[in-house]
C-alpha cells in the first residue's frame, strides 16, 4: 500500500466556467487556471503522484506547456491513472475536501463521485467528497479562490 496527499488552489473569476470533480456546476464565478482548473481532479492527481514519489502535477503537466492550455482535467486524471496502472498499482480509495464559500457543491457530489469513479476504475463507494466554507475568512471567504485536498490509497 502507498498513501498520497494532494492539494490545489485556484482563483475564482467571473470570466470562467466552474468545473469541479469532472462536472460543470452552475456558478456566478468559475475557476481560473491554465487548464480547466478543476482543483479537485488536480488534488487527486497530486495525491497519486505523491503516493508513488513521482513529483507533482506541475512536473507531469506543466503550465508552461501550451499543449495543456485549456485542457479538460479529466484527461489529466486519465493519464495519471494509466501511469499508476503501468507501475502495477490501483486506487483503493479517495478521500477529499473542497473549501469554498460559493457555490454549494454537495448537491453535485454524487455526480462528481460517479465521474471520478469512472475515470479511476473504482466504485463510487470508494470516493468521498466533503465540502466546507472558510467561515467568510481570507481569500476563500471573500470568494476569491477555492482549495481542494485529497488523500489516495494505492494498492499493489
Residue at grid coordinates 476569491: 144
pTM: predicted TM-score of the whole model, two decimal places: 0.96
pLDDT averaged over every residue in the chain: 96
pLDDT digits (tens, 9 = 90+) for 110-138: 999 999 999 999 999 999 999 999 999 99
Domains identified in the chain and CATH numbers = 2-155 (3.30.1330.50)
Please give the pLDDT value at position 75.
Answer: 96
Local confidence band at 80 (pLDDT 50, 70, 90 cut-offs): very high
Strands 19-20 and 23-24: antiparallel
| pLDDT per position as a tens digit, 34-79 | 999 999 999 999 999 999 999 999 999 988 888 888 899 999 999 9
Inter-residue contact 87 to 53 (CB < 8 Å): no
Least confident of 9-13, 34-38, 64-68, 82-86: 64-68
Amino acid at each position: 500500500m502507498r498513501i498520497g496527499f494532494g492539494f490545489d488552489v485556484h482563483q475564482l473569476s467571473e470570466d470562467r466556467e466552474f468545473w469541479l470533480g469532472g462536472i460543470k456546476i452552475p456558478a456566478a464565478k468559475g475557476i481560473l487556471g491554465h487548464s480547466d482548473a478543476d482543483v479537485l481532479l488536480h488534488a487527486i492527481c497530486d495525491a497519486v503522484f505523491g503516493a508513488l514519489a513521482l513529483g507533482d502535477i506541475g512536473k507531469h503537466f506543466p503550465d508552461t506547456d501550451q499543449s495543456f492550455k485549456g485542457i479538460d482535467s479529466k484527461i489529466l486524471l486519465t493519464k495519471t491513472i494509466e501511469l499508476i496502472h503501468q507501475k502495477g498499482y490501483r486506487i483503493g480509495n479517495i478521500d477529499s475536501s473542497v473549501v469554498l464559500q460559493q457555490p454549494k457543491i454537495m448537491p453535485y457530489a454524487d455526480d462528481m463521485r460517479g465521474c471520478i469513479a469512472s475515470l479511476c476504475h473504482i466504485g463510487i463507494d470508494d470516493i468521498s467528497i466533503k465540502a466546507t466554507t472558510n467561515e467568510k475568512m481570507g481569500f476563500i471567504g471573500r470568494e476569491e479562490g477555492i482549495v481542494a485536498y485529497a488523500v489516495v490509497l494505492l494498492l499493489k
